[in-house]
């Protein structure tokens, strides 16, 4: 009996378990040729030192050892690839009685399976939101086509009368048209950037700091951080449905009741370009004083005192038109954003399934090699 550090072992068992040196396989006690170093795949991919291989009896002893060596080299090459694919850093596996003990990747495979399930649920949500947005887009486009006449009427009046803002005053009011809903790409950021650029250009020219009124919580959150001192009024509950003329009338009436001083109103909104794009734009609304001082405004036969009503009517028309067009742009942008999100989710599911299959195959291969290695050491 001999003591081997973990217990007593008989001399016969000691003779059967011979250690393999770092340079190659040891010659079996019963004879047989030594395996060539080329079969071990070099120093880095060969069998680790201390692994036990017992002698094999029979005429195919050398062939059997060659098969075992190739199987071990395959496992040594496949385990780093598995660890890299799963993002797991594996420590050096200990050896015990001739068997290679390694951490099984079942936990990582379960994590990948959970991620695939989660992404599939997200894909279902984005596809549903895309279908809802596509359904609402048709109604929003029809409303936008009907509201075009209101915006064109005000712009044509200012153009034909050659209305301009008074030169002795530089008080401007910005009305930023946004909404309360998200998941629609960068449509809210575009009007905020347009507003910040216009205010910066006005400050660079030496003009007075303008007042800002925001329609919608999304743009309000962005502008309250960038231009907190310019915000004077905000509206919420915008964007839940197709805007109506009553909504625009309530907004314009509230603005006029607050007696905010201005000589020109700049409405910043998202202009509908096509089914794939939009752009931020600014439309201008002039005051009653600007209408009365217009060179060609006298060509219109109107009663005395109607100019004020006409200025308020023009403000309401412009707000209504920009609200409707901004709503159509938002619905279109949400549909495109959900379409892109669904495509990205599909690509992610494909990649995760590929990683899962690779890890599963590597785990099965590792288990088969462990069985072969254990059988060869008996």
Q: Which CATH number goes with the domain that contains 237?
A: 3.40.1380.10
My answer on whether 323 and 231 are in the same domain is: yes
My answer on whether 61 and 133 are in the same domain is: no
Asked if residue 32 has pLDDT above 50, the reply is no
My answer on whether 253 and 178 are in the same domain is: yes
| 177, part of any domain | yes
Task: Give the model's pLDDT for residue 17.
Answer: 44
Asked if residue 347 has pLDDT above 90, the reply is yes
Task: Give the model's pLDDT for residue 90.
Answer: 44
CA-to-CA distance for 378 and 374, rounded, in angstroms?
7
Give Cβ neighbours of residue 14 (< 8 Å, ≥ 6 apart): 2, 4
Whole-structure pTM over 0.95, yes or no?
Answer: no
Give Cβ neighbours of residue 374 (< 8 Å, ≥ 6 apart): 99
| 367, part of any domain | no
My answer on whether 126 and 235 are in the same domain is: yes
Phi-psi region of 28 (alpha: psi -120 to 50; beta: other; left: phi over 0): beta
Q: Range of 305's domain?
A: 119-346
| 113, part of any domain | no
CA-to-CA distance for 174 and 267, rounded, in angstroms?
6
Task: Give the model's pLDDT for residue 238.
Answer: 83
Asked if residue 361 has pLDDT above 70, the reply is yes
Asked if residue 301 has pLDDT above 60, the reply is yes
My answer on whether 156 and 288 are in the same domain is: yes
- C-alpha Rg value of the chain to the nearest Å: 38
Task: Give the model's pLDDT for residue 168.
Answer: 63
- For 72-112, write each residue's pLDDT tens digit: 554 444 444 444 444 444 444 444 444 444 544 444 888 99
My answer on whether 31 and 149 are in the same domain is: no
Query: Can you tell me the mean pLDDT for 23-41?
Result: 43
My answer on whether 192 and 84 are in the same domain is: no
Asked if residue 59 has pLDDT above 70, the reply is no
Domains: count for the chain: 2
My answer on whether 189 and 267 are in the same domain is: yes
């Amino acid at each position: 009996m001999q003591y081997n550090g973990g217990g007593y072992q008989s001399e016969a068992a000691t003779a059967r378990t011979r250690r393999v040196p770092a340079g190659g396989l040891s010659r079996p006690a019963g004879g047989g040729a030594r395996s060539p170093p080329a079969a071990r795949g070099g120093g880095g991919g060969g069998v680790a030192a201390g692994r036990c291989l017992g002698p094999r009896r029979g005429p195919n002893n050398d062939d059997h050892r060659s098969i075992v060596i190739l199987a071990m080299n395959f496992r040594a090459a496949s385990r780093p690839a598995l660890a890299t694919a799963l993002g797991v850093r594996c420590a050096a596996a200990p050896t015990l009685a001739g068997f290679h003990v390694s951490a099984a990747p079942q936990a990582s495979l379960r994590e990948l399976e959970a991620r695939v399930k989660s992404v599939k649920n997200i894909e279902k949500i984005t596809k549903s939101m895309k279908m809802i947005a596509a359904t609402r887009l048709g109604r929003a486009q029809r409303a936008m086509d009907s509201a075009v006449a209101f915006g064109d009427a005000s712009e044509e009046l200012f153009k034909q009368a050659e209305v301009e803002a008074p030169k002795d005053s530089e008080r401007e009011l910005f009305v930023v048209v946004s909404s309360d809903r998200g998941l629609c790409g960068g449509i809210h950021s575009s009007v905020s950037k347009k507003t910040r650029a216009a205010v910066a250009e006005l400050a660079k020219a030496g003009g007075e700091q303008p007042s800002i009124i925001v329609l919608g919580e999304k743009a309000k959150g962005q502008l309250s951080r960038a231009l907190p001192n310019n915000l004077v009024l905000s509206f919420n509950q915008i964007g839940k449905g197709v805007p109506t003329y009553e909504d625009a009338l309530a907004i314009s009436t509230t603005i006029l009741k607050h007696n905010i001083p201005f000589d020109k109103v700049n409405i910043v909104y998202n202009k509908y370009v096509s089914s794939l794009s939009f752009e931020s734009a600014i439309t201008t609304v002039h005051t009653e004083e600007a209408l009365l001082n217009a060179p060609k405004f006298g060509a219109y036969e109107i009663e005395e005192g109607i100019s004020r009503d006409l200025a308020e009517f023009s403000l309401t028309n412009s707000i209504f038109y920009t609200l409707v067009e901004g709503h159509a742009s938002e619905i279109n942008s949400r549909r495109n954003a959900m379409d892109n999100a669904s495509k990205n989710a599909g690509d992610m599911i494909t990649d995760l399934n590929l990683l899962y299959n690779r890890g599963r195959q590597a785990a099965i291969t590792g288990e088969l090699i462990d069985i072969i290695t254990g059988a060869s050491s008996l």
